[in-house]
């Protein structure tokens, strides 16, 4: 095998892997799914950054959560009593494609 052919042979799987399309968008049509996506996002962020806002303990501390659909975006936020202070996790989830943005809200 010539050098050029060998290089192409080795690069072809890499090119194919990079050209795969991303996972199909997920429509979020129910409050339960929005809550699940928010919890998954918070857990993922905590596992990568150890940011305490998204720790399981802090998420439980600010439970329960509600999900409200407004203008095509699910807003997931804590419904814990106002007397509970700290940084509560919050998430915005686009209903059309499931893209999730997580933030921490000071209370």
Domain count, the chain: 1
81 belongs to a structural domain: yes
- Inside any domain, residue 6: no
Residue 8 lies in a domain: no
Is residue 52 domain-resident?
yes
CA separation for the pair 1, 7 (Å, rounded) = 10
| Residue 79 belongs to some domain of the structure | yes
Q: How many angstroms separate the CA atoms of 31 and 37, rounded?
A: 10
Domain-embedded: residue 88: yes
Domain containing 63 equals: 25-106
63 in a structural domain:
yes
pTM, to two decimals: 0.77
The 10s digit of each residue's pLDDT in 41-78 is 999 999 999 999 999 999 999 999 999 999 999 999 99
Count of CB atoms situated within 10 Å of the CB of 67: 20
Q: For 82-105, what is each residue's pLDDT tens digit?
A: 999 999 999 999 999 999 999 999
């Amino acid at each position: 095998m010539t050098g050029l052919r060998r290089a192409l042979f080795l690069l072809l799987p890499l090119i194919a892997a990079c050209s795969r399309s991303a996972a199909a968008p997920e429509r979020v049509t129910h409050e339960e799914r929005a809550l699940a996506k928010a919890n998954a996002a918070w857990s993922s962020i905590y596992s990568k950054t150890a940011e305490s806002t998204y720790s399981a303990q802090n998420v439980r501390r600010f439970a329960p959560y509600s999900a409200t659909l407004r203008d095509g975006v699910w807003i997931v936020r804590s419904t814990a009593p106002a007397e509970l202070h700290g940084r509560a996790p919050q998430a915005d989830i686009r209903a059309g494609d499931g893209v999730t943005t997580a933030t921490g809200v000071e209370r």
